[in-house]
Homo-oligomer: A and B are copies of this chain.
Amino acid sequence: MLRVSSEPFNAGEELSAFERDAAGAGAVVSFTGLVRDHASSGDVKSLFLQAYSPMTERGIEEAITAATERWPLTALKVIHRVGEMAPGEAIVFVATASAHRRAAFEAADFLMDYLKTEAVFWKKEATETGEHWIDPRSEDYQDRARWA
């Protein structure tokens, strides 16, 4: 299940709904990415996320398919925001369910590495000192390379 939307969402409510659907799964892992409140260039005022539809959605769907082929998941959900958001707000939510925890942990980890380095988004952070486009960190590319 994938949702790319400019609507704010609450990760806790999404997790509750996910666990209702995934009942019987045994293990549920969630990841939430929140807009940070401080960057090296100062306090963060806002974050802007840009997508290119339908390329963005198509790429995430392919990563979801890859995850479900690689791990025995009983449920999976990805939510990604676009547009303008404030510090503390959720940018991304990934939830995975499986009979045992290793599959759930690894699949969530894998999807986040995809989302950080290959998903078709561009991010601009506004701080006290101005606006800055943010590229993935070298650690993000290293993390992604673990799954090759």
Contact = CB atoms under 8 A, between A and B. Distances in A.
Interface of A: 10-17, 19, 22-34, 36-38, 87-88, 90, 99-102, 104-105, 108-109, 112, 116, 139, 143
A28 B88 CA distance: 11
A32 B31 CA distance: 12
Nearest to A14: B12
- State the oligomeric state as a number of copies: 2
A116 B35 CA distance: 32
A143 to B, nearest CB: 6
A37 B108 CA distance: 23
B34 A24 contact: yes
24 contacts: A11-B19, A12-B12, A12-B16, A19-B32, A23-B87, A23-B88, A24-B34, A24-B36, A24-B38, A24-B87, A25-B34, A26-B33, A26-B34, A27-B31, A27-B33, A28-B30, A28-B31, A29-B30, A29-B32, A29-B108, A31-B101, A36-B99, A100-B139, A101-B112
